[in-house]
Structure 1
Amino acid sequence: MLTPQWLDQLRSRTTLSALVGRSVRLQKAGREHRACCPFHDEKSPSFYVNDEKGFYHCFGCGAHGDAIRWMTDHQGLAFMDAVKELAAEAGMDVPQPDPRAAKAAEKRDTLYDVTGAAQEWFRQMLGAPEGAQARAYLETRGFDAHTIARFGFGFAPDERQALKHALVRYPEPMLVEAGLRIEVEERDPYDRFRGRLMLPIEDARGRVIAFGGRILSKEKTNAPKYLNSPDTPLFDKGRTLYNLHRAAPAARQSGRIVVVEGYMDVIALAAAGIAEAVAPLGTALTETQIEMLWRHVEAPILCFDGDAAGQRAAMRAITRALPLLRPAHTLRIVRLPEGLDPDDLIKRSGPAAMEELLGQSRSLVEVLWEVEHAAQPLVTPEDKAGLKARLIQHVETIQDPDIASLYKRELLDRYGEFAFPRRENRWQAGGGGNARQGAFTRGRPQGRWNGRNAPAPSLPESIERLKHALSGGSRDALSAAVIAGLMRWPDQLSRHAEALARTPDLDSRFDALIECCDAMAPLENGDLPTILSKNGLQVPRTAEYSGLRFGFLAPDANAQHAAEELAQAIDLLVERPVLETALAQATARFETELSEESFAEQQRLLKRKLEFDNRLRQMATRHASSS
């Protein structure tokens, strides 16, 4: 068991500057060492190493850690591998938790010897007469000698006992446990890989832990084209990314990692000069693999084939990534032209075409909308409602509340533009409208809203109805604050009008703003209050929202930050009536049924209501606490 005391002793025996200095050129600066940060690009040094305190810190990007953290974040090792490597250099024995674990560790070390010996034999066989077909295949792929040697290509002869005879010094059970031999009842064990071009699969330290093999004979139509080792004590395919040990250092230089579908794609990209590519191993990208990628870059680029299978792979990756999203950590998506893989594209159009495609990667939310929008026909209202339901289901899996709110807003905005397209302005088409519009337009061109069809101005009788509605309408603090925010930042009205128009039970002043405001030309700060005042509608008073000190109402508010905070407040406003209605219905159902199911549903909604109130409280006091 690794106790805190043992880990502290390990850190004290490690000279951090010497460790970091193997990869980074350090300069002595008083009691510290400094350098340009290896975690981000910079021209002047802001990265410091302090041996006395045992940590490094970058004042530019915030990277911070000790010797173990350096080995995991910079060298790409797993925690235990980092500890073992540092302990070996410090002359310390890593404590084993119990005898069984010690035995398992000893077995792993022995299996490394087996896989290493198998790799050496496969490489020898590639150069032997038996490997002629494999060498011919490599020539058709255009891989040069350097690429073949770098990635360790080999060949497994098409014989059932060839590997056993080559590795006769290792007992049969070890060969089976390493995934090299297959053991079945009532039959002799036989080699797993036969008649295949072989590739080693390596861990973060570059040790061979498994193999992948591509079949060479066209006659074996029943055999899988690609075959990987099974899970073993060394190899867990859901926790391994092919080529990560080579891609991680390259990613620190380029600032990106490219995830492709197979290891031959990785090698094709490397041969074309794109060294920071990795691939999962026969499975969809797992949650563990996503977290592994995020240790190196914040936005890995997923590159999928342009066919239906590639789209399904993209959707599986998106579905697994959504619950894991956190600030600044996401995925970018690239779809290749249909029928092409990375190797095909590079051979047809050159590496520059691949670079251009990677530079056009799209955001996760954009691809999510595109895939769901194209998933089913969207003809009837029920079809369109189904699309909205699917989008909301995806949003509800996102654990980070801020990201979930932003995704919900983005997707509903896209849905609104699709499901509720703007209709032609009745005043522009019907004639006679100009006389009625004069109070609102002041000579502006009519009938467009930021380039789209604008809502028609209200008839006088509509304004009268609004006046009566306002006399008894509910004006809670959140609504009043949002209205005041729109008064302060009128250019945001067109952005949020669609969502507000679809939200039930809002303060009637929202209807007044949407109906009475022609917003084709940029609005000015005095426009909205003037429109309300001229038609007898009351401008929000500070007393209505004095308990909510939103940042977008602050005198010194920054326009960009104000727009972001106002959008979050409107998200809360839009979400509230839906939540309150669902809670009221659940409460009524519980009072009549008194069942465990109805009680559980009511409690779930009560919890959501508390979370909603906390989000509102945190947002409304954020500015107050920082000012």
Structure 2
Amino acid sequence: MAGKIPSEFIDDLLARSDIVEVVGSRIQLRKAGKDYQARCPFHDEKTPSFTVSPDKQFYHCFGCGAHGTAIGFLMEHDHLAFPEAVEELALRAGMQVPTRSEQFVKTPTQAPLYALVEKAAALYRRQLREHPQANRAVEYLKQRGVSGEIAGDFGLGYAPPGWSFLLERLGRGPGEQARLLECGLIAEQDGRRYDRFRDRIVFPIRDRRGRVIGFGGRLLGEGKPKYLNSPETPIFHKGRELYGLFEALRSNRKLASLVIVEGYMDVIALAQFGLTSAVATLGTATTADHLKQLLKTAPEIVFCFDGDRAGRDAAWKALQIALPLASGHQLIRFLFLPEGEDPDTLVRRLGRDGFTALMASAQSLSDFLFDRLAEHGDMASSDGRKRVASQAQELASEMPAGIYRDLALERIAMLKGVSPGASARPRSRRPGRSARQSLPAPLSLVAKAIALLLDNPRLGPIVSQQDATWRRSTSPGADVLRPLVDMLLERPEITKAALLERWRDHPHFGYLQQISVHPYLSDIAEGDLEAELIGAIDRLSAETRKLEWRQAFNQRSVMEWSVEERARVQRQGDSAREPGDETP
């Protein structure tokens, strides 16, 4: 969708936004010379290596290498997609995001549905305080140990008995009723419309940006179902959303782990005891979309299940969903509770420290996988162990290269009676290798010019004053350098952030961001930047002329060479053998 938002709007948006304010609203910055510093929010560190430049409107961490614009920061820190990050930044700037209608069919905005669901949430909250029959809901919450503060944090409400409480207040006209139906707040049967949630404690479900997108309701009286969720709607998709994720992100500057539990009350009970990193699926099993989202959010995921057979079966299904995503960059573990217990009851009995200790004892993904196979196999015989090894091999084949697959293959080799070193393990990067940063590769002349211009857009007009032979270069990256220079000639005042965002849809956007913070740049004094760029452009032009001459020259017979041409070839042959000469 990035291409559907005009680049001119992105330029204007970044011009009106201050990356220091954006980043500073999420982490604490301190002034350090002309820039700002902080401990990096993307990796653990004791000494600040995260820098925000107000001049370049760009952030960079010298520790882990994270870098980008205000849009990129929102995408990385708040885990937003590009359009969501643009919208978030536009809201801060008081701007309306436009689209290029001629390039795509504009879909209707969902803003009215978000607004309607938010109104319903406010009404439900008010009823919990004011409705004559709300005492039953309040008493239930007290019995479950829910404080007024926690109820407020999660926005709990009350849907009164009766069939038309919401319908009468928010659905007086046909258009309003149509929207109530669309977002699942009312239902229709035999032409009769009525409130979906009645005589229930209401749990607002928020997306990770904090917008209410649906509800869960716990019945207070007799009847079924005890728990009811909003249906699928244009703004609510059960397979992607998680109850409590917004609250967990809001309560923790940096999440060390996330625990996946079964229900609303489990999330709320754990929060009541200060364990604010629990989320729940919404009446569905954990999906790949759920897990992808969680693995981007925290370095450790703990699945929490009942210890009975049904709980272990559910855990096995979760493991099978997790296998293709288990690279080893994040820990995935499984916690099985004592029979008859759930997180709600257990945290009341054990307290915060006891429950935290229990979480620390959770099984690793590998341990659970092999324990489960062993339970259903014959580990007493050689043939039985080989069958278990074969089943494990099939499951391990679904894992990406990484520590989990390495561990699994080592255990499979042991089951087969083969030395782990002799196992047919595919070659993959050993655990811990990724933590050792290799030296950055030296930049080519084209890459140097691109890096200098990306980091210092003001230098763009200087290139137009040099010999333009470089424009005929066929070196890798020249197809980027040419439009980059043209763009800077049109917009000499553009910032580094806005310039990089112009390339977001380019297939090598990641590389362009990377070389814009290459160590090569930090070795150049401010006063030498112009000379360095001119030198790179002039050398590139010289290389282009030399290559063109060679191509034309090589098309002729040797017998046609003049004495001067023969001497020139000889000189170039000699210089090519001299150390440091860059002539091919």
Same-fold call, TM cutoff 0.5: yes
The one-letter code of the counterpart of 2:117 is T
Question: Are 1:40 and 1:252, in contact at CA under 8 Å, matched by a contact in 2?
Answer: no
The one-letter code of the counterpart of 2:183 is A
2:24 alignment counterpart:
21
2:184 alignment counterpart:
179
- Distance in 2 (CA, whole Å) between partners of 1:204 and 1:551 is 34
- Distance in 2 (CA, whole Å) between partners of 1:135 and 1:90 is 40
Question: Are 2:249 and 2:255, in contact at CA under 8 Å, matched by a contact in 1?
Answer: no
- Distance in 1 (CA, whole Å) between partners of 2:276 and 2:420 is 46
Aligned residues: 424
Question: Are 1:73 and 1:296, in contact at CA under 8 Å, matched by a contact in 2?
Answer: no
1:575 alignment counterpart:
none
1:188 alignment counterpart:
192
Question: Are 2:255 and 2:297, in contact at CA under 8 Å, matched by a contact in 1?
Answer: no
- RMSD of the TM alignment (CA)? 3.0
**Residue-by-residue CA offset, 1:320-354 (whole Å, 9 max, x unaligned):** 12112335134222222222111111111211111
1:207 alignment counterpart:
211
2:45 alignment counterpart:
42
- Distance in 1 (CA, whole Å) between partners of 2:429 and 2:230 is 56
The one-letter code of the counterpart of 1:276 is S
2:153 alignment counterpart:
150
> Displacement of 1:300 after TM fit?
1.9
**Residue-by-residue CA offset, 1:529-584 (whole Å, 9 max, x unaligned):** xxxxxxxxxxxxxxxxxxxxx999xxxxxx998xxxxxxxxxxxxxxxxxxxxxxx
- Distance in 2 (CA, whole Å) between partners of 1:85 and 1:117 is 21
Question: Are 1:242 and 1:280, in contact at CA under 8 Å, matched by a contact in 2?
Answer: yes
> Displacement of 1:497 after TM fit?
3.3
Secondary structure of 1:295's aligned partner: helix
Of Structure 1 and Structure 2, the greater helix share is in 1
Question: Are 1:251 and 1:296, in contact at CA under 8 Å, matched by a contact in 2?
Answer: no
- Structure 2 gap segments, 5+ residues each: 434-584
1:125 alignment counterpart:
127
Question: Are 1:76 and 1:245, in contact at CA under 8 Å, matched by a contact in 2?
Answer: no
2:322 alignment counterpart:
321
The one-letter code of the counterpart of 1:147 is I
Cα 1:402–1:89 change in 2 (3 A) is closer
1:300 alignment counterpart:
301
> Displacement of 1:280 after TM fit?
1.4
Matched, 1:411 2:415: no
Identity %: 39
2:452 alignment counterpart:
none
Question: Are 1:39 and 1:252, in contact at CA under 8 Å, matched by a contact in 2?
Answer: no
- Structure 1 gap segments, 5+ residues each: 421-495, 504-549, 553-558, 562-627
The one-letter code of the counterpart of 1:160 is W
1:67 to 66, 70, 86: 70
Equivalences for residues 441-520 of structure 1 within 5 A: 497=419, 500=422
2:371 alignment counterpart:
370
- Distance in 2 (CA, whole Å) between partners of 1:141 and 1:215 is 14
Secondary structure of 1:93's aligned partner: coil
The one-letter code of the counterpart of 1:192 is R
> Displacement of 1:188 after TM fit?
0.7
> Displacement of 1:16 after TM fit?
1.0
Question: Are 1:57 and 1:64, in contact at CA under 8 Å, matched by a contact in 2?
Answer: yes
- Distance in 1 (CA, whole Å) between partners of 2:94 and 2:124 is 35
**Residue-by-residue CA offset, 1:102-139 (whole Å, 9 max, x unaligned):** 4521xx11111211121122222223222222222112
2:436 alignment counterpart:
none
Cα 1:363–1:11 change in 2 (3 A) is farther
- Distance in 2 (CA, whole Å) between partners of 1:172 and 1:337 is 47
Matched, 1:81 2:74: no
The one-letter code of the counterpart of 1:191 is D
Cα 1:334–1:61 change in 2 (3 A) is farther
> Displacement of 1:312 after TM fit?
2.2
Question: Are 2:377 and 2:385, in contact at CA under 8 Å, matched by a contact in 1?
Answer: no
> Displacement of 1:275 after TM fit?
1.1
- Distance in 2 (CA, whole Å) between partners of 1:263 and 1:178 is 20
Question: Are 2:40 and 2:49, in contact at CA under 8 Å, matched by a contact in 1?
Answer: yes
- Distance in 2 (CA, whole Å) between partners of 1:225 and 1:306 is 23
- Distance in 2 (CA, whole Å) between partners of 1:244 and 1:322 is 22
Equivalences for residues 190-589 of structure 1 within 5 A: 190-217=194-221, 219-220=222-223, 223-375=224-376, 383-398=384-399, 400-403=400-403, 405-413=405-413, 415-416=415-416, 497=419, 500=422
Secondary structure of 2:228's aligned partner: strand
- Distance in 2 (CA, whole Å) between partners of 1:124 and 1:59 is 49
